[in-house]
Structure 1
Amino acid sequence: MKKLVALLGVLLLTILAACGSDTEGEIDTIVLGDAGWDSIRVHNSIAQTIMEEGFGYDTEVTSGSTAATVQGHRDGDINVYMEIWTDNIKEVYEEATEAGDFETVSVNFDDNNQGLYVPTYVIEGDPERGIEPMAPELRTVEDLKKYPEVFEDPEDPGRGRIINAPSGWAVAETIDEKFEVYGLDETMNNFMPGSDSAAVADLVDAYEAGRAWVGYYWSPTLVTAKYDLTLLEEPEYDEEIWNETRGTEFPPNDVVVTVHKDFPEQAPDVYEFLQNYETSSELTEEALVYMDENDAEPEEAAKWWMEEHEDIWTSWVSEDIAEKVKDALN
């Protein structure tokens, strides 16, 4: 009987050890997070191609809201996150990093912008389209209050309209505060669209008609890549002023690649590759434009991008891994 109990004990320990190996040891399938925008899908596809063809891993993608996928990342259900916009989820990002739930391994890109944009022809005109400058002295966000007639609200003649971020977005509250600190509400209305697509449709309609438009947007996106827009200036970022009134340009917003805390041991070779992953807003927008012009999926854009920029992605991995990936692409 004692021998039987001892044998069962050994078997139980073996089973537990095996379970522990599955969750904390090496893995066969790498799960990436998709929070719903095209640029993260392109970067996921680039990384997946290298993980699968170069390193021999299977990959999967878990889609959901930013909040849901970041929580899944903290819990270990998502191994890799190719685009965490650090300032947009600052509190959660800092909390998760300090708790050691996930690790930042590289900066994907840090040259992105956000704020209030106008079509460049509003300031400079466009001779080819027969458009005269509408507000040639417009430079800053605060200047906007001088031009209600240029950006006239069609539903409130005599006052201008600024397109805010969609209702429900955290950044919409920031634009609200900027309205107050710059005195924009003296002459301008603060209009919140119901969705990002509604804001884009409003911009495209105005742009194609050569009308004035001003509103919130960010890069890298297809919108900022496809249309000639000018980001209006604000005072240089100052953390104290920003925290008090939001009366400066937006703070730096590094867009980083992160991995779950267990990942360095689960896939050390891929972990090393991801430490080298670095692009830019301009490089990202090239893929987004390709998607638009060719009605392509992110996976197709990623393949095109890798063929166009072989010198970049091959620098992230060893020569033998690069050769495997190139063979697969060809």
Structure 2
Amino acid sequence: MKKLFLSAAATVLCFGASSAMAAEDCGSVTIAEMNWASAGAIAHIDKIILEEGYGCDVELVTGDTMPTFTSMNEKGEPDMAPELWINAVREPLDKAVAEGELIIGGNILNEGGVEGWWIPTYIADEHNIKTVAEAFKHPELFPGAEDSSKGAFFNCPSGWNCQITTGNLFKAFGGEDAGFELVDSGSAAGLDGSIARAFERKEGWLGYYWAPTAILGKYDMTLLDFEVPHDKAEWDGCTVKTECADPKKNSWVASEVYTVVTNEFAEKAGVAMDYVKGRSWDNRTAGKVLAWMTDNQATNEDGAYYFLENHEDVWTKWVTPEVAEKVKGAL
């Protein structure tokens, strides 16, 4: 990874001369609008800032992790993937960066993408529960199982890889022996609904979730400590496998989430590359924007304007004062 970023930095330095280009020379730029909310919102934020602040002509195109990366790597388009979860494409990305075809921009999610097991913070505080082991001592605090004598542990929807992972870890940590029942949430809406119901009733809830998300932006949840380090060999060889006869205790590792751009974009973007390299937000801020979007049935574009209008303290640090004034004037 260190080599990747050294290579990325060296590549970017090659365009130091072009960084003096005037903003109006930025030209046409294509940005992938990924099909999940945080990435969709940041794509529209980028569009507004690059157009209004740097004079770019931005077109948003539909994207997803693997298709977008493959197209950028093989065809040089789109120009930018604002939120790429690079764990899924690490080896080919390393190669593309080393060959100077793609460039790593900013660490858009500065805490990374976080997966794990969560409980409401009011339960964590009241009962001093901070770890999986402590939560498993209290099945009575987590209702919702078909068998009322057991605690409910809410798993991912069917078909999601995290359903397999959580099932294996539930077994490894002795969830059944601790008096819990693994509950199939059925769908993403079902998983979200189970959390919303728990908060409405001020009840306990225990299960899998991830950040940044609207749910964690709306509801105050505590991530439980697995108290074991991430074992990559065990993870790849058993934890994520459907056939894992004897899963061992393990934990998620935060996913690295960066902006990736093409070589061509870096050449034509000029000083806009400084923005692409420097912008970043934390999961709590992203979660608040996503929660507002959900509550207001807002589009990704609506979310972008909400962020720019309500979080100047965040985004104005990404740009020069001159660019910030241009963007503010356009809101």
Q: 1:12 matched to which residue of 2?
A: none
Mean Cα deviation higher: 237-246 or 92-101:
237-246
Matches within 5 A, 1:144-183: 144-183=135-174
Alignment-mate amino acid for residue 166 of structure 1: P
Q: 2:48 matched to which residue of 1?
A: 49
Decide whether the 8 Å contact of 2:217 with 2:289 is kept in 1: no
The answer as to 2:131 corresponding to 1:140 is yes
Q: 1:283 matched to which residue of 2?
A: 285
The answer as to 2:85 corresponding to 1:85 is yes
Cα-to-partner distance string for 1:49-95 (whole Å, 9 max, x where unaligned) = 111112222222222443333333333232111112233x2xx2332
Alignment-mate amino acid for residue 151 of structure 1: F
Question: Could you state the TM-score of these two structures normalised by the residue count of structure 2?
Answer: 0.77
Deviation at 1:213, TM superposition (A): 1.6
Mean Cα deviation higher: 218-227 or 283-292:
283-292
Q: 1:182 to 1:154 in 2, by over 3 A?
A: closer
Decide whether the 8 Å contact of 1:110 with 1:252 is kept in 2: no
Distance 2:151 2:233 in 1: 27
Q: 1:71 matched to which residue of 2?
A: 70
Deviation at 1:137, TM superposition (A): 5.2
Distance 1:225 1:301 in 2: 13
Q: 1:202 matched to which residue of 2?
A: 194
Distance 1:228 1:320 in 2: 37
Question: Could you state the TM-score of these two structures normalised by the residue count of structure 1?
Answer: 0.77
Q: 2:121 matched to which residue of 1?
A: 120
Distance 2:171 2:93 in 1: 33
Q: 2:184 matched to which residue of 1?
A: 192
Alignment-mate amino acid for residue 116 of structure 2: G
The answer as to 2:324 corresponding to 1:317 is no
Mean Cα deviation higher: 192-201 or 283-292:
283-292
The answer as to 2:32 corresponding to 1:33 is yes
Deviation at 1:272, TM superposition (A): 2.8
Task: Name the SS for the 2:182 alignment partner.
Answer: strand
Task: Name the SS for the 2:278 alignment partner.
Answer: coil
Q: 1:95 to 1:170 in 2, by over 3 A?
A: farther
Deviation at 1:141, TM superposition (A): 1.4
Q: 2:252 aligns with which of 250, 253, 258?
A: 250
Alignment-mate amino acid for residue 97 of structure 1: D
Decide whether the 8 Å contact of 1:291 with 1:301 is kept in 2: yes
Distance 1:252 1:301 in 2: 25
Distance 2:292 2:144 in 1: 34
Decide whether the 8 Å contact of 2:143 with 2:151 is kept in 1: yes
Distance 2:159 2:34 in 1: 16
The answer as to 2:210 corresponding to 1:230 is no
Q: 1:259 aligns with which of 236, 258, 261?
A: 261
Q: 1:55 to 1:110 in 2, by over 3 A?
A: closer
Distance 1:327 1:199 in 2: 41
Distance 1:240 1:66 in 2: 22
Distance 1:65 1:194 in 2: 23
Alignment-mate amino acid for residue 188 of structure 2: D
Alignment-mate amino acid for residue 105 of structure 1: G
Distance 1:262 1:153 in 2: 53
Task: Name the SS for the 2:281 alignment partner.
Answer: coil
Distance 1:123 1:312 in 2: 30
Q: 2:19 matched to which residue of 1?
A: none
Deviation at 1:160, TM superposition (A): 2.9
Matches within 5 A, 1:212-231: 212-231=204-223
Distance 2:176 2:330 in 1: 57
Distance 1:310 1:291 in 2: 18
Decide whether the 8 Å contact of 2:145 with 2:181 is kept in 1: no
Deviation at 1:274, TM superposition (A): 0.3
Deviation at 1:227, TM superposition (A): 1.1
Q: 1:168 to 1:266 in 2, by over 3 A?
A: farther
Decide whether the 8 Å contact of 1:241 with 1:248 is kept in 2: no
Distance 2:124 2:228 in 1: 22
Alignment-mate amino acid for residue 160 of structure 1: G
Alignment-mate amino acid for residue 269 of structure 2: A
Give ranges in structure 2 of 5+ residues lacking alignment.
Answer: 1-24, 240-248
Distance 1:38 1:140 in 2: 29
Q: 2:245 matched to which residue of 1?
A: none
